[in-house]
Amino acid sequence: MNNKEDEKIQTLLKQAMAPVDRELERDLWPQMLRRLEQRAAAVPWFDWALLALLVVGLLISPHTIPVLLYHL
């Protein structure tokens, strides 16, 4: 490519792409602090039920522990 073609491509790219504003419109840190202070997500009851089933199953048949560890 010669210099003229490079300039033409450069002008076409500048026309096609909007200029990027690199400054933020507002500070995001206070919003992040509010989200961190919010209450943590509650664990649903069925997650506790699955955990209880897993513990009971491992207590009944401990030979399945290596199988479980293999699949993790």
Structural domain contains residue 10: no
**Res 1 pLDDT > 80:** no
Residue 20 lies in a domain: no
Instruction: Please indicate, yes or no, if residue 35 is contained in any of the structural domains.
Output: no
Overall number of domains in the chain: 1
Residue 2 resides in a domain: no
pLDDT in tens, 18-60: 777 777 778 888 888 888 888 777 889 999 999 999 999 999 9
Asked if residue 58 is part of any domain, the answer here is: yes
Residue type (1 letter), 34: R
pTM given for the model? 0.43
- How far apart, in whole angstroms, are the C-alpha atoms of residue 59 and residue 57? 5
28 within a domain of the structure (yes/no):
no
The answer to whether 57 touches 64, Cβ cutoff 8 Å, is yes
In a domain, 70, yes or no: yes
